[in-house]
Amino acid sequence: MPFAAITYDIKPGHEDAVAEIFAGFRRVRSSSVPGARGQDAGRILATAVFIRDATLVRMIEYEGDLEAIATHMAGQPGVREVERKLKPYLTKPRDTDTVEGFVRTFTGSLLRCVSQVAVPRTYAETPNAESANAHS
């Protein structure tokens, strides 16, 4: 599954306040992402947020069309709330109040993926699954 990572430039010294914003994040009800015509355009599989000093990175594991993922995220109440609460802590304003602005900002904040490695997702495909189970 592909990953996307977007960056936020945060004012130094506000790491704990920013972490608190994400601690209360409201997850979407469904991982399914509808396309422009209502068809299934993808799924958000997982997200993670990392911060150090003035850099915040949001990682997204997804399937499907990344632009559809960004468009879907733009309309999610939890994402909109996080973007609103982050505004005072950003070193540069982000145009995320509209779907178009969010998608443009999302695209402009993407980190280039230089390597991606995946391991088997099912327990049965995991090497030494039986020996790991025996020690449980």
Residue 76: other Cβ atoms inside 10 A: 16
Token couple for 72:
């879907």
Structural domains in the chain, CATH included, are 3-134 (3.30.70.1090)
Predicted pLDDT at 136: 44
Q: What does the pLDDT look like over 24-69, one tens digit per residue?
A: 887 777 788 988 888 899 999 999 999 999 999 999 999 999 999 9
**Does 126 have pLDDT greater than 80?**
no
Where is 68: in which H helix or E strand?
helix 66-74
Provide the pLDDT confidence category of residue 122 given band limits of 50, 70 and 90. Answer: confident
Q: Is the pTM here over 0.85, yes or no?
A: no
Q: What does the pLDDT look like over 91-118, one tens digit per residue?
A: 999 999 999 999 999 999 999 999 988 8
Where is 82: in which H helix or E strand?
helix 77-86
> In the chain, which ranges are E strands?
3-9, 32-34, 40-52, 55-64
Burial class (CB in 10 A: 0-12, 13-18, 19+), 81: middle
**Triad 41, 23, 99: Cα angle to 5°:** 35
Burial class (CB in 10 A: 0-12, 13-18, 19+), 59: middle
The residue among 77 and 125 whose pLDDT is bigger is 77
Beta bridge partners of 3: 61
**Does 77 have pLDDT greater than 70?**
yes
Token couple for 6:
């977007």
